[in-house]
Chain A
Amino acid sequence: MNVADWVVLLGTLVGIAAYGSWRTCQIGSLNTYLKGRQSTGWGTIGLSVMATQASAITFLSLPGQGFESGIGFVQNYFGLPLALIIVSGVFLPMYRRFGVYTAYEFLGRRFDWKTRLLGAGLFQLQRGFSAGVTIYAPAIILSTMLGWPLDLIVVCIGFLVIAYTVTGGTEAVSLTQKWQMAVIFIGMVTAFIVLLVELPVGLGFNDAAHVAGALGKLQAVDLSIDPSRRYTLWTGLLGGLFLSLSYFGTDQSQVQRYLGGDSLRESRLGLMFNALLKIPMQFLILLIGALLFVFYQFERPPLFFNQSEWQRHAQGPEGGTFRALEKRHVVAVADSEKAIRAWLHTRTSQDAAVEPIARATMLEANRQTAAVRSEAKAALLAADPRAKTKDSDYVFITFILAKLPHGLLGLLIAVMFAAALSSLAAELTALSTTTTIDFWRYFRPLAAADEARNVRVARRFTALWGLVAVAFALLVGFAENLIEAVNIVGSIFYGVVLGIFLVAFFFRRVGGSAVFFAALAAQALVIAMFLSLNIGYLWYNLIGCAVCIVFSMLVQTVLGPRANTDPGRAA
Chain B
Amino acid sequence: MTGLLPPDQRSDAEPPGLPGFHTWRGVYLFVFGWFVLAVVLLAVFARIFS
Q: Please report A residues at the B interface, Cβ cutoff 8 Å.
A: 31, 74, 78, 81-82, 84-85, 88-89, 93, 96-101, 105, 108-109, 209-210, 212-214, 218-221, 233, 263-265, 268-269, 272, 275-276, 279-280, 283, 437, 441-442, 445, 448-449, 568, 570-571
Contact = CB atoms under 8 A, between A and B. Distances in A.
A264 B31 contact: no
Contact of B50 (A78, A101, A218, A263): A218
Q: Which of A31, A265, A442 has the most CB of B within 10 A?
A: A265
Nearest to A30: B3
B4 A105 contact: yes
Given A97-B7, A97-B9, A269-B16, A212 B32 contact: no
Contacts of A96: 8, 11
B14 A265 contact: yes
Interface of B: 1-9, 11-12, 14-18, 24, 27-28, 31-32, 34-35, 38-39, 42-43, 45-46, 48-50
A571 B1 contact: yes
A359 to B, nearest CB: 11
Contact of B16 (A97, A109, A213, A268): A268
Secondary structure of the A contact surface, majority rule: helix
A101 B5 CA distance: 9
Given A220-B46, A268-B24, A263 B14 contact: yes
Contacts of B24: 88-89, 268
A218 B43 CA distance: 9
B8 to A, nearest CB: 5
B28 A97 contact: no
Contacts of B11: 93, 96-97, 263-265
B31 A276 contact: yes
B38 A85 contact: no
Contact of A448 (B2, B14, B35): B2
9 contacts: A78-B35, A99-B8, A209-B49, A212-B49, A265-B15, A272-B27, A272-B31, A275-B34, A448-B3
B32 to A, nearest CB: 7
A280 B38 CA distance: 8
A264 B46 CA distance: 38
